[in-house]
Structure formats: structure tokens, C-alpha cells
Amino acid sequence: MSMRETFRIALKNPKFKIGITIVFIMALIALVGPLLTPFDNMGYYPIKFGNTTFSKPTTPSLPPMSKDVVYGPEGIVNVTHYLGTDSFGRDIYAQLTYGMRSSFLVGITAGGLATILGLLIGFIAGYKGGWTDEILMMITNIMLVIPTMALLIIIAAYLPYRGVAIESIIIGLTAWPWTARAVRAQTLSLKNREFVHLARLSGLSDFKIIFTQIMPNIISYVFMVFILQFGGAILAAVGLDFIGLGPTKGMSLGIMLQQAVLWNAITLGYWWWAIPPGLVIAILITGLYFINTGLDEVFNPRLRRE
Amino acid sequence: MSGIKRYLLRKTIIYILTFFFAVTIDFIIPRAMPGDPIAVLLSRFATLPEAAKYLHSYFMQAFGLNKPLWEQYLSFWNAVLHGDLGVSIYYYPKPVAEILKEALPYDIALLFPALVASWFVGNWLGALAGKNRKLDTYLMPVFYFLQASPYFWLAILLSYVFTFKLGWFPISGAYSYGIIPSLSWEFIKDYLYHWILPFLSLFMVQLGGWAIGMRNMIIYEIEADYVRYLEALGASEKTLMKHAFKNAMLPQVTGLAIQLGLLVAGNVTVQIVFSYPGIGYVLMQGIMNQDYFLIQGAFLVIILTVLVANFVIDLLYALIDPRVRTSYTEEGT
């Protein structure tokens, strides 16, 4: 099945449609959302004095849809806090939408890195076989047993400065094992097929055979793997941020949740601070699962319930 | 060698290597990372010159920084194998091993029931959804949503509803301040009262995963040839389901090992929400206070716990899967 044909069939699948719609809406909010608020990514109101910008907090602990005023050099500005403010007078909506942007970024880079690593290791182990396979699978199995989060914690704890890029890289470097094992199994089942033998006889290099003969056959599978890695990376990042090992500067959904818990948002009843950051993640990842189930049904007719 | 023995031997080798790898990581990372953790640690004791002096000599001994690297590595192993994980900075002068030993029972009392209960209830609900299409349309989105929720967010949600709104359960700690831990009925009641929300957070997220797994397997198995054959023979629906369920079960047992890592990570974050005094909470204190010995110690204990649990799951699998018993030729799953 070509990619385009697959997509056409998938669009008839209701689960796939629901999933795509959810993810699309979330991506739109992440992309456009920050443009609709005057506040910066930390939720402060930026006030310009010549060349320098000052971050000004507004009224703390306002519930959603509160009107507020900011006193700037140009006079009084009327603002609306769509999702209220936190205990420090920072706009929640701005933090949330900018945070979603960074979540998508982590998902794409870390998920992409993990997918690529998993593919490479799986292909090489499966195609080469022998000792290469033994050693690569030994490493994979060891990495599988160690909880990824524990490994992330120990690495991140020793980094004095952490940005979103570094966070993505360490998540990507630890999330590949299950993908490698699954890809290896797929490669094993493909490498003895006639077209692969033929390619080998015609003198193609191993590298070329893997990428021109084997990979196209599992491209749809690769796509599903990426979706799961994308979601997994977002969850890993939010967990890491929550325990205080996320980016040392800036804001993210996990950091919002951490601050909400540390500053007693729950006992104070500030639900607009503590609930939305996790809710958008749960909804986004539910959407990803729907896409995957939909695709699974497309590729695997036995799962269709007709 | 019999199938089971070979299977377990192979698994054990992997676990020993994993432990070796984990200890090595624990050794390498503080030395390879930029910055000087020891200088950071000592600077935190600037106001306590006595403690700083003691720590300085302790570090010199523990890290043996003037010795060659391989010698440092060997003495590190020696310390780990003797259960010496260093001294905590935050809880100074308490040894890390002691802190973790006190915390671990709280983790096990949360993790074990959450894993077992979610496994049984999740598989049961998943099987229901798998065979009943109408039920499936309502249940599946719920399962997905639960599985997609970050553990600690669900914990926040539960504590908002049950503590803030309804006031049914306490929000933090493992027991009330006034009570001294003992085996009295009063303490157990108080303990369970604090235990229920952290437990539910872990239980519900896990439940979603198990249910989805079982649902998919049942749908897959119901279409299998052997079930069609049974159907053609006129077997009752109950018999059909029994056979499908049995076959769908095996991947769910293998899945236990994979879920365990996620559950342990989830447990760390949930404990932070409820200030629950297990390893997760201790780890958070370590991170917030740059208490590296504590972080490293917690890392090792988490891995050791997961390895032991994995081994138990392997034993379980060997017992229920006849294929392991008869032959073990393929590589382990």
C-alpha cells in the first residue's frame, strides 16, 4: 500500500478521523494560541522602556475570564485573563499555550530521535544477524529493563543547565529500545524474501538494501511507531519537568503543574492553574492513541469490527 | 538443560548485566558531567564549617579523587555491595541507605496492590469491551483517556475532587501527624485513609492500559481460526470466550514487565503530589536540594526493585506458558 492510498483508506476510519481532528486542534492551539494574548511565555505582561523589556506580573489568583488592568508607560491597558492567573499574577492561558508549543517541539524532536535510533538499531540487528545482533539486542534488553524515567533523572540531575533541546536529546536517547526490538522482528521477517535476495545478488550495499528494499515495506509501521514515540516523549518530558528536572529557564506544562502543586493550588481551589496543563496533554495523547488504533484497523483487517 | 532453566538463566544474565550497567552509570555520570558536583555540595555547607570539613574528608574517601579511575570504580562497587550509598546532604547526617530503607515499604505498599488490582480489573473490563461492541464504544475512549493521563495529573485531579470539593480524604502524608506508626487498628485505618488517593491515581492510569491491551487481544482472538472452528462446532459463547481469554492473557503477563517501568516512574510523581513519604518523595527532596548521593541511591534502589519484580514476572510466565516449559529455543520476549 502506498502512503497516499493508506491515508485515503484511513480517512474513512472513524477512530482515525477523531484522532486526527483532536491532534489537529491541539496543534492549532499551540501554533495560534500564543498570538492571541499580550502576555509572554511566562505569563508576565511585557512592558517596553526603550530597548529593555520588563516582565510585569498582574493581579494574582484571578479565576478564568477575569478582566484586569495593567499600568504601563502608555497608560492603562485593559486585559482579559482567559484562564485566570496563578499565585504570582501570571496569565495561565499564555503559559498554557506557549507550554503546548514546547510540548509539541519535544514530542517531535525527542520522538523523532527515538524513532530514528530504534529504526537504525533494529534494522542493523535484524539484517546483519550473528554477533552484531546478539550485542545490539543485549544492549536493547538491558535498556528495556531500566525504567526510562530513572535513567532520565540520573542524567538530568547532573546537568547544571538544561534547555528544551537537551531535554529532547536525553529523552530520545533513552526511548528507542522497544522500537528497536519491534523493527528487528519486522526486518527478520522481511530479509529472506525474494526481492531482498534479488537486491543482494544485484550487488546493492547493505545500507541501500535496508533503505530501499526493507524500509518502504514497513513505512506505515514506522509512522505508527513515531506517533507512539511522539506521545511517549511528551509524557516523559512532562514528568521530568514536574519533578524539577526540566528546562532550567522558561515555562512548560510540567513546570506549571509542579508550581501549582508546590504552591498549594489544590488546597486553595485554583483549579484553573492545576487542571488545564495536564488536561491538554491527556486529550492530545488520547488523540494520538485514536490515530494509532485507526491505522491498526486499516492495516490489520482482523481488528475491524464490521 | 530444561526449557525453564534455560529461559531463567538467560533472563538472569540480562538482569545481572543490567545491574552492572546501572551501577556503572551511577559511577560515570557524576564524573563525566560538566560542573563540579562536589564543589556544589561543599558550598552548601559554607555556614556549617564542621560538617563541611567532615564531608570533605568523606568525599575524598568515598570518591578517592586522588586515586586512579579504575581504583575509584572498584571501591565504588565495594561500597555499593556493602549497602553503603553515602550520606544524605538534605537529611544530614543520615546515611542514604537508611533513608531509602525507611521509604521503600511505602512504595511497595502502593505499587504492588496498584499493579495487581489494575491488572485484574483492567483485563476484565477490557475483555468485556472486546466482546461487546456497544459497551466498547463507550469504554474505549475512557480507557484511552486514562492511559493518556500523566499519573501525577490524575493525582491532582483526584485530590481536587475528593479533597478540596468533597473533603473526603486527606491531601498529604502517609498518616496523620498525631499518630505514631504501629500495628494498631487505629493506625491501619488512618494509613488506609491516606493511602487510597495515591493508590487510585496509579490504579486508574494502569487500568486504562491493561483494558486497551486486553480489548485488542480479544478482538483479534475472536476472529482466529480456532474460535471460528469452535463456533462451527456449536460451542457456547462462554466456551469461546474462555479460550480467547486464555490466549489473550499471555501478552498481558509479558506486558507486566514493560508497564512496571512506567508505573515506577508514575509512582515517583504521584508521591510528590501527595507528599507521600516513599522513594519518589525522597527523590524529589534530593533533586530540589541537589543531594546527589540521595538521587544516586534512589536510582539504584528503583532499578534493583524493578529487576526483582521482573524476575518474579518471568517465573510467573514460565509457569503459565507451556511453550516455555517444553522448549526454549527462541530468544526471550
pLDDT tens by residue, A180-230: 988 888 888 887 788 888 888 888 888 788 887 788 778 878 888 999 999
Residues of chain B with Cβ-Cβ distance to A137 below 8 Å are 331
Domain hosting A199: range is: 3-35+96-303
Q: Do residue A176 and residue A289 come from a single domain?
A: yes
Asked, for residue A91, whether it belongs to a domain, the answer is no
CB atoms near residue A248 (< 10 Å): 13
pLDDT, residue B63, reads 61
Q: What DSSP string describes B75-116? A: HHHHHHHTT---B-STTTTSBHHHHHHHHHHHHHHHHHHHHH
As for how many domains chain A has, the answer is 2
Identity of the highest mean pLDDT range in A109-123, A243-257, B4-18, B54-68: A109-123
Asked, for residue A88, whether it belongs to a domain, the answer is no
CB atoms near residue B180 (< 10 Å): 7
Asked, for residue A142, whether it belongs to a domain, the answer is yes
pLDDT, residue B182, reads 73
Shortest distance, CA A50 to any CA of chain B (angstroms): 37
Q: Do residue A126 and residue A66 come from a single domain?
A: no
Q: Do B150 and A266 touch (CB under 8 A)?
A: no
CA B253 to chain CA centroid, nearest Å:
16
Cβ contacts from A onto B, under 8 A: 165
Q: Do residue A8 and residue A100 come from a single domain?
A: yes
Last residue of a domain, one of A53, A81, A109: A81
Supply the CATH number for residue A21's domain.
Answer: 1.10.3720.10
Task: Round to whole Å and give the CA distance between A89 and A225.
Answer: 41
Asked, for residue A86, whether it belongs to a domain, the answer is no
Asked if B86 contacts B62 with a C-beta cutoff of 8 angstroms, the reply is yes
Burial of residue B73, with CB atoms counted within 10 A of its CB: 0-12 exposed, 13-18 middle, 19 or more buried? middle
Number of H helices, E strands in chain B: 13, 0
Asked, for residue A273, whether it belongs to a domain, the answer is yes
Burial of residue A122, with CB atoms counted within 10 A of its CB: 0-12 exposed, 13-18 middle, 19 or more buried? buried
Q: Do residue A122 and residue A190 come from a single domain?
A: yes
Q: In terms of residues, how long is chain B?
A: 333
Q: Do residue A107 and residue A177 come from a single domain?
A: yes
Residues 187-246 of B with CB under 8 A from A: 212, 216, 219-220, 223
Q: Do residue A184 and residue A67 come from a single domain?
A: no
Q: Which of B231, B207, B235 is nearest to B149 (CA)?
A: B207
Burial of residue A66, with CB atoms counted within 10 A of its CB: 0-12 exposed, 13-18 middle, 19 or more buried? middle
**Which of B30, B136, B147 is the closest to A289 by Cβ?**
B147
How much is the pTM? Answer: 0.87
Backbone angle region of B201, left / alpha / beta, with phi > 0 → left and psi within -120 to 50 → alpha: alpha
Shortest distance, CA A30 to any CA of chain B (angstroms): 19
Asked, for residue A190, whether it belongs to a domain, the answer is yes
Task: Round to whole Å and give the CA distance between B121 and B117.
Answer: 6
- ipTM for the whole complex: 0.88
Output DSSP code: residue B167: -
The phi, psi pair for A160, rounded to 5°, reads -70, -35
pLDDT, residue A29, reads 93
Q: Do residue A30 and residue A168 come from a single domain?
A: yes
pLDDT, residue A229, reads 93
Last residue of a domain, one of A46, A81, A116: A81
CA Rg, chain B, in Å? 24
CA A233 to chain CA centroid, nearest Å:
5
pLDDT, residue A291, reads 92
Residues of chain A with Cβ-Cβ distance to B30 below 8 Å are 158
Distances (CA, A) of A157 to A29, A99, B45, B109, B203: 32, 22, 20, 27, 28
The phi, psi pair for A68, rounded to 5°, reads -150, 160
Output DSSP code: residue A89: S
Q: Which three cell numbers stand for residue A241?
A: 519537568
Last residue of a domain, one of A19, A46, A81: A81
DSSP β-bridge partners for residue A79: A68
Residues of chain A with Cβ-Cβ distance to B219 below 8 Å are 302-303, 305
Asked, for residue A90, whether it belongs to a domain, the answer is no
pLDDT in tens, B248-283: 787 888 788 778 877 888 888 898 888 888 888 888
**Which of B262, B287, B310 is the closest to A243 by Cβ?**
B287
Confidence bin at A72 (pLDDT 50/70/90) = confident
Asked, for residue A183, whether it belongs to a domain, the answer is yes
Task: Round to whole Å and give the CA distance between B323 and B332.
Answer: 12
pLDDT in tens, A116-130: 999 999 988 888 888
Output DSSP code: residue A44: P
Q: Do residue A69 and residue A197 come from a single domain?
A: no
Q: Do residue A270 and residue A154 come from a single domain?
A: yes
Question: Is the torsion defined by CA of A100, A105, A110, A116 positive or negative?
Answer: positive
Q: Do residue A64 and residue A143 come from a single domain?
A: no
Q: Do residue A112 and residue A46 come from a single domain?
A: no
Q: Do residue A224 and residue A298 come from a single domain?
A: yes
CA Rg, chain A, in Å? 23
The phi, psi pair for B274, rounded to 5°, reads -95, 10
Distances (CA, A) of B180 to B98, B104, B171, B174, B184: 19, 18, 19, 11, 10
